[in-house]
Chains A and B, each alone.
Chain A
Amino acid sequence: MTTVWVPADSSARAVGADEVAAALAEVEGVTVRRNGTRGMLWREPLVEVETDRGRVGYASVAADGIPALLEAGMLSGADHETCIGVVDEDPWLTAQDRVSLVRIGLAEPTDIRAYEAQGGWAGLRRALDTDPTDVVEEVVTSGLRGRGGAGFPTGVKWRTVLQARQGGAEQAFVCCNLDEGDSGTFADRILAEADPFTLLEGMTIAAVTVGATEGYIYCRSEYPDAIARLRDAIAVATEHGYLGDDVAGSGRAFRLQVRVGAGAYICGEETSMLESLEGRRGEVRAKPPIPALRGLWDSPTVVNNLLSFAAIPMILADGGETYAARGVGRSRGTQIFQLAGNIARGGVFEAPLGITLRELVEDIGGGTRTGRPVRAVQVGGPLGAYLPADRLDVPMGYEELAEAGGMLGHGGLVVFDDTVDMARMARFAMEFCSVESCGKCTPCRIGSTRGVETIDRITSTPAGAEGRDQLFVLLEDLCATMTTGSLCAMGGLTPVPVRSALTHFPEDFGGSPR
């Protein structure tokens, strides 16, 4: 029998992986196994054949192309125009420094024995044998900062929760933010689908450290495959004693469940997510109090992004200093960059922070999919800046990007070619905010609608017409009000893409007065 791997990742399925798997299952002598993606999404469906040399890959396989591949000797790993050779030796993978993604695509996602064989649970074991204060300090030492986008030091957050618990709080919760709504980001989804135990282990380490017995994964409803995979993984981990009343024989309890969002972008904002978890409208809460002190049901709550939790097992297993040895400036460790939009080689690329945007877009991403010149890259999601092609030499770090007028956000890069109309993108930023604003504060709720109207007036007023310059003043005034007056990052950062489009691409607005 020959074992053939076909990813069950939802991006792979979106381009026909299920049909490929079904067609291969019909072939005599073939056992089809379903892994997660390797992260090279432009090659999906990427079929891997187990051979003596290792797993040999065939890219962009279509179900109706399988007879020809079999004819060419695919089952013995023979060469073919779609063959990429031994997948583990592929330069796109070997160029990465995979810490959190180290196991994706290697096995069936809920194969707990494979997870253990590949180094799983070592971090949890160490955490269970270590004093909670020392676990927290290990995370502080790692320099890990919130990978959801805010960049707050994860260890400091955990320390706050632990101290609240030691100070007499009866209950604490651990909560994973898997409401990955930013366009151009999909690392959370890929990791949840391909290697859910890494998330479970990271959350369990947090729970046993701060003394939480209950946890939630808040997953957006647009990710049905991730929801199903996580629920399976929780059942398997519970059955094997890594979750439940007695975590890995420690006598400590941690029960975890998946909660599903309902199509509201704002619920990726942590306090809005807490409201949603409690069953209410996802309106943001004013801070303080911070969730680390009063989060879910008023109890101290660790709220971290999936990618933050996914870094934890390695930090505990190999030590915080090993993680901190990577990176640039105050941005330590690795980031999972997501190459998206109009890009030739889209996918997930984990590298130490400090790699430049140009390396990611041009060398690794291969430029645009359309083959036209890159005109703009939006970094960090819908609230991130549009950077023009001549500013791509910025190192990818929190402070470094801030200096360049951008932000790292969740590490997503959306590439646009020279056909993009940046006035339209600026308008879209305002429109998106008006659709997704929770409505609690006025600058965001009303400002975004006025922003759409003002940009429409600018683009429909001929250059040089009377009063046109005042419209830019009005738009800038509106941006300033939203930035300083909004309760959360939604209204507060929507002006970032708008202003960056105005600054770097004034010609798209028919020429601005600045």
Chain B
Amino acid sequence: MARAGRQQTEALTPRSARGESVRVIAQRYARERGPLLEILHAVQAEHGHIADEDVAEIADVLNLSVAEVHGTVSFYHDFRRSPAADHEVQICRAEACQAVGAADLWAATEQHFAHREDVEVREVFCFGNCALGPSASIDGRLRGHVTIDDIATAESGWSR
């Protein structure tokens, strides 16, 4: 009865286009075992981040509490709750890359992009490229033997 009542309330407030899309994605995986991470990845791939309204939609489809879904979203480093910057530079800070200068690369990269709000510099622990470090991922593309010059060269290829 409670569920029927809830559906009625929802029917009174029309769902946004985004909400509709998130619902479709959630329903696509809903019958699998343990589908939540799959859904979150798919929503983020489609919409760039996971918004509060998405959490509520997903919770409704999976019959979970909003708190449970929020708890999962906030646990994992990959899930973003706000839109991404135009460019993302990830620098590996783990031991194998530190052995070949990752700490300096990380500091230099942060400094290099300090004035650019459209670039997000993130630390990552290990890309599995530990024989050819320091490693970085620039807009999703993994690179090895990275220097700050390589990062500046990649930046010059971006259309501003």
Contacts and interface: CB of A to CB of B under 8 A. Distances in A.
A251 interface: no
B99 A279 contact: no
A425 B99 CA distance: 10
Interface in A243-292: 259-265, 276-283
Most chain A beta-carbon contacts within 10 A, residue among B77, B126, B128: B128
Interface in A130-175: none
Q: Is the interface of B mostly helix, strand, loop or mixed?
A: loop
Given A15-B144, A260-B37, A346 B132 contact: yes
A341 B99 contact: yes
Interface string A315-347: 000000000000000000000001111110011
B41 interface: yes
Contact of A382 (B37, B75, B95): B95
Interface in B109-149: 124-133, 135, 142-145
Contacts of A340: 96, 99, 130-131, 133
Contacts of B103: 424
Interface stretch (A97-105, A118-126, A176-184, A504-512): A176-184
B97 interface: yes
A186 B131 contact: yes
Given A279-B34, A282-B76, A222 B100 contact: no
Nearest to B41: A260
Contacts of A185: 128, 130
A41 B97 CA distance: 15
Contacts of A183: 94-97, 125-126, 130
Nearest to A377: B99
B96 A281 contact: no
A14 B132 contact: yes
B38 interface: yes
Interface residues of B, number: 39
Interface string B87-104: 000000011111110010
Interface in A371-426: 378, 382, 412, 414-417, 420, 424-425
B3 interface: no
A272 to B, nearest CB: 10
Contacts of A260: 37-38, 41
A378 B95 contact: yes
B20 interface: no
A10 B38 CA distance: 23
B128 A223 contact: yes
A297 interface: yes
A278 B36 CA distance: 8
B130 A414 contact: yes
A259 B38 contact: yes
Given A297-B33, A414-B95, A435-B125, 8 more contacts: A14-B144, A181-B126, A262-B76, A262-B77, A263-B77, A264-B76, A277-B37, A338-B131
